[in-house]
Amino acid sequence: MAITLSGDSAMPAPPLSSRLTPAQVWGIVLLAPYLLVFLAFVVYPVCYGLWLARAPENYVALYNDPIFARAAINTLIFLVIGINIKMLIALFLSGFFAQQRPWIKWLSVIFILPWAVPSIPTILSVRFMLNPEWGVINHLIFSFTGDDGPNWLNDPTVALTMAIGVHIWKSLPFWTLILITGRLAIPHDLFEAAEVDGASWWQKFRFITWPSMQTLYVTCTLLSMIWTLGDFNSVYLLTGGGPADLTHVLATLGIRYLRLDQLSLAMASIVCAMPFVLPLVYFMMKRLSR
Amino acid sequence: MKLPGLSEFSWRDVATEARLLLIGIPVFLWTMIPIYHMFLFAISPKEDAFSGKLWPDHPTLHNFGIVFKQQHYFLRDFYVQFWNSTVIAASVGVLTLVVATAAAFSISRLRVPGGRIVMNLALFTYFIPAAFLAVPMYRTMGNYGLLNNHWSLILAMVTIASPYAIWVLKQASDKLPVELDEAAVMDGATTLQIFRLVYVPLMMPSLVAIGTYAVLLAWNEYLYAFLLLSNDREITLPVALGNFLAADDSPWELLMTTGFIYALPPAAVYYAFRRYMVGGLTAGAVKS
């Protein structure tokens, strides 16, 4: 008998063992390790976490916790403002890096460094630069103006802005790289034709580049938003959530509750984010599994 | 095409070049400043580092000596922690490759019943922010009795790395022609032989990309490492770096030196495998 490698057989359902070809038995055996990992470290934790977060009191407690409200607003600012600025810069830079110049090629190799190196030492490096007494920035401010520089990370607005800056520094190369591949996929004769017709660069962008890239751009923006929800390092390592717990985002808030041994609150805060996360995830899955 | 007059040609060129430089120089500075600052600390004596100099009066490798000889309270387990990071990253790389290659082969080539559902579940996990899964994962590892054991971090990182790995490998293996498998079956090859002798060799570039991805992910991971491991001799390097902040008078020049050493291997790996990474990962990361 021939081994079927593709498709389900159209036979009526006999007992399972005889219905499966040897190849399909192997298929199940080979899929088993991932299924085990998935059950033990995704399904079980998620169900257990939801069970911990089941009591309505948790949500009342969250509602009454000003730190939670602040973290939710910070997260929204991080996503809506931070990510859009980042993606606009990435779109702009993808045009810059698509230019054919030897020095731009070299610059693109350097440009990728923030993404290639681990974030911990670089974020801590920025943190020390912003140190009010010893940091290089305030030293420079002092030597130029004779005044003491501000205590950067002590102002929640500035501190959150800096955390967004660190996030952009770290992930800008990745998104620029992806947008460059999108840009290079546009047929070059379109631009040549536009050149002949005397189109300005804005017209070329508006009528050639953007229409070809908008799907990719929107997909990248949404994906970046989902992932940034989980960006723990940028905030935790730069501000630690401070001053006075005013710069937390949902990712660091969950860990803060965990450290305070309030696991059910930590889970409840994550459950609260789900109405926003799940539609985005659903949308992304539709896009990627086309 | 007409030949441009010499002066007209160069003036236009200079103007374009200047505009490009106007973008290029800020991009270069923006990228390099935090990294240069880290490097500056690593080669500066403490007084120079803390006085905001842009280049130390007496550049020195003294800090590296202290780190390599473990001559500081925060550094007393440096080698053990470096080893922990290495072992964990390597284990995550190998395990992710095994789990993901087997799953991708099963879903894409063997068309196992329910494979599509498993793929979608995996994709779903890929999109759930890792920091959200960290909270229940911490508790789960406690229930399994794995806290403070390297296996907790290895298994957690395999869980996080596999969905993307399976997805990229499935995309790549869908592109292999079905005739290859059919021909092998005709020749009497068993499923395992097809896997070993046909599938794995053909998938090599993607496997290299995915292995590198998993190793870097594990080496760079901070959040899970700091939640799951706490004993000084069990933690990985990034957790040790975070612990420097516990003291008010942290030796920042040593912290930056250790951070610099810690950042070198992933940067080297990244640049060594860049060809594979760019081809294999960015193409798979977002399908437009």
pLDDT digit string, tens, across residues B114-170: 888 999 899 888 888 888 899 899 999 999 999 999 999 999 999 999 998 999 899
B261 domain-assigned: yes
B2 domain-assigned: no
pLDDT at A100 over 50: yes
Would you state the pLDDT for residue A57? 87
B31 domain-assigned: no
Count of Cβ atoms closer than 10 Å to residue B228 Cβ? 29
Q: How many residues are given for chain B?
A: 288
Nearest to A67 by CA among A177, A166, A156: A156
Would you state the pLDDT for residue A4? 42
Residue of B nearest to A251 (CA): B131
pLDDT band at A5 (very low <50, low <70, confident <90, very high): very low
Q: Domain count of chain B? A: 1
Would you state the pLDDT for residue B6? 52
pLDDT at B113 over 80: yes
Residue of A nearest to B38 (CA): A125
Place of tokens 């798979």: B284
Burial A52-73 (b: 16+ CB within 10 A, else e): bbeeeebbebbeebebbebbbe
Q: How many angstroms separate the Cα of B277 from the Cα of each of A148, A177, A216, A280, B285?
A: 45, 11, 19, 26, 11
Least confident of A173-177, A264-268, B185-189: B185-189
All residues at 6 or more sequence positions from B250 whose CB lies less than 8 Å from its CB, including other chains: B74, B244
The CATH number that applies at residue B198 is 1.10.3720.10
Would you state the pLDDT for residue B215? 92
B64 domain-assigned: no
Contact A78, A249 (CB under 8 A): yes
B145 domain-assigned: yes
Instruction: Check CB contact under 8 Å for A24 and B113.
Output: yes
H helices within B175-203, ranges in order? Answer: 178-186, 191-193, 200-202
B36 domain-assigned: no
Count of Cβ atoms closer than 10 Å to residue B107 Cβ? 27
Peptide linkage before B238 cis (omega within 30 of 0): no
B53 domain-assigned: no
pLDDT band at A78 (very low <50, low <70, confident <90, very high): very high
Structure tokens at A184: 């290079």
Structure tokens at A256: 């803060």
When pLDDT is averaged across residues A15-33 and rounded to a whole number, the result is 79
Least confident of A4-8, A105-109, B239-243, B258-262: A4-8
Read out DSSP for B83-118? Answer: HHHHHHHHHHHHHHHHHHHHHHIIIIIS--TTHHHH
Least confident of A43-52, B3-12, B56-65: B3-12
pLDDT at B7 over 80: no
User: A200 or B137, which is more confident?
Assistant: B137
The alpha carbon of residue A137 is apart from the nearest alpha carbon of chain B, in Å, by 8
Give the integer Cα–Cα distance in Å for B231 and A183. Answer: 48
Give the integer Cα–Cα distance in Å for B192 and A190. Answer: 49
Instruction: Check CB contact under 8 Å for B135 and A254.
Output: yes
pLDDT digits (tens, 9 = 90+) for B36-73: 999 998 998 887 777 777 888 888 888 898 888 888 88
Would you state the pLDDT for residue A11? 46
Q: What are phi and psi of B71, to 5 degrees?
A: -95, 35
B61 domain-assigned: no
pLDDT digits (tens, 9 = 90+) for A82-96: 999 999 999 999 999
The alpha carbon of residue B74 is apart from the nearest alpha carbon of chain A, in Å, by 15
Give the integer Cα–Cα distance in Å for A192 and B179. Answer: 41
Would you state the pLDDT for residue B181? 82
Considering only residues 191 to 220 of chain B, which have any Cβ-Cβ distance to chain A shorter than 8 Å?
191-192, 195, 219-220
Nearest to B84 by CA among B213, B221, B210, B214: B221
When pLDDT is averaged across residues B89-116 and rounded to a whole number, the result is 93
User: B47 or B195, which is more confident?
Assistant: B195
Q: Domain of B210?
A: 73-281
pLDDT band at B185 (very low <50, low <70, confident <90, very high): confident
User: B241 or B280, which is more confident?
Assistant: B241
Instruction: Check CB contact under 8 Å for B131 and A231.
Output: yes
User: B108 or A13, which is more confident?
Assistant: B108
Instruction: Please report, as a single letter, which amino acid is at residue B130.
Output: A
